[in-house]
Amino acid sequence: MGGAINISLGEIVHFDIVTHDPTTGSVSNADSPPIWTVYEEDYDTPMLFDYFSLRTNSTGDYRAMFNASSDNISAYGWNGVDGYGYGFGFEEGKFYNIIAEATVGGITAKTVVFTLHIPVNGGLSSDAIDAITADIMGAIVDGTVDLETALKRILSTTCNSIVATGTDPKVLAYKDDAGTSTVVTHSVPTAGTGRTSS
C-alpha cells in the first residue's frame, strides 16, 4: 500500500484496506474492527484515530473516512501546535500519514495506507471561488461603474442589436442577446456637448 495524494483543505477523504489470513494469504475478516490513525508529519501522538467499518456483504474489505478540515481533531488528538484537544486540525502546507492496524488470526500488522498533502492555496471550494469572483466583478473600474456592468456594456455595444430613437439627442439602446432588454443606453446630442451613458 502507500502512495501520496494531494487534497484540498476541508475535503472528505475516503479509503479502504483489505485484510488477509496471515497463514494462507486469503482474504479474511479481522478479529476485531481495524483501527486507522492520522499522524501529522513528525509528531508522534495521533491527530485522529477511529475504527474501520466492514463493507456490507464483503469479506475483509474495510472502509473509513474523515473530514480534512481545519477544525477536525479528536478529543485527545495532537495538532502539533497547542497540545491535546486544541488548535487548527488539518493545515495547508502539511503532510499527514494514515496508518492502518488490523489483527487477523491473532497476528497484528500495520501498514501506511497513504500520505496526504494539503498544498498551500492548493484547492478552493466552490463557495470560495464564487466569493472571489463576486469581489472581482464588483470592483469599481470607472467612477461608480463596477467590472460586471462595464463588461456587459462593452459586450452589448460590440455584439448585440441597436435601437436608435430621437434626433437631438439621438438615443442608442443596446439590447441583450435576446433583443428584449436594454443593457446600456448612449445619448448623443447633435450639439456636440458629449455623449452620456447609462
pLDDT at 89: 81
Order the strands of the 35-40 sheet from edge to edge: 4-6, 107-117, 95-104, 35-40, 48-51
State yes or no: pLDDT of 75 exceeds 80. Answer: no
pLDDT band at 164 (very low <50, low <70, confident <90, very high): low
State yes or no: pLDDT of 77 exceeds 50. Answer: no
pLDDT digits (tens, 9 = 90+) for 98-157: 999 999 999 999 999 999 998 886 556 667 777 888 888 888 887 887 888 777 767 655
pLDDT at 132: 81
Task: Kindly state the cell numbers that stand for 79.
Answer: 495538532
pLDDT at 76: 39
**Mean local confidence (pLDDT), 24-40:** 95
Burial class (CB in 10 A: 0-12, 13-18, 19+), 30: buried
Task: Check residues 159 and 9 and name the one with the higher pLDDT.
Answer: 9
Task: Kindly state the cell numbers that stand for 21.
Answer: 489470513
State yes or no: pLDDT of 52 exceeds 90. Answer: yes
pLDDT at 4: 85
pLDDT band at 187 (very low <50, low <70, confident <90, very high): low
CATH topology assigned to domain 4-117: Immunoglobulin-like (2.60.40)
pLDDT band at 196 (very low <50, low <70, confident <90, very high): low
Quote the Cα angle for 129-130-134, to 5°: 120
State yes or no: pLDDT of 64 exceeds 60. Answer: yes
Domain boundaries, given as residue ranges, for the chain: 4-117, 139-197
The count of other CB atoms within 10 Å of the CB of residue 112 is 14
pLDDT band at 174 (very low <50, low <70, confident <90, very high): low
Task: Check residues 33 and 146 and name the one with the higher pLDDT.
Answer: 33
CB of 92 within 8 A of CB of 121?
yes
State yes or no: pLDDT of 26 exceeds 90. Answer: yes
| pTM for this prediction | 0.57
CB of 48 within 8 A of CB of 76?
no
Q: What is the DSSP letter of 192?
A: S
Phi, psi (deg, nearest 5) at residue 156: -65, -35
CB of 99 within 8 A of CB of 93?
no
Concatenated DSSP letters for 113-171? EEEEE--TT----HHHHHHHHHHHHTSEEETTEEHHHHHHHHHHHHHS-EEEE-STTEE
pLDDT at 55: 97
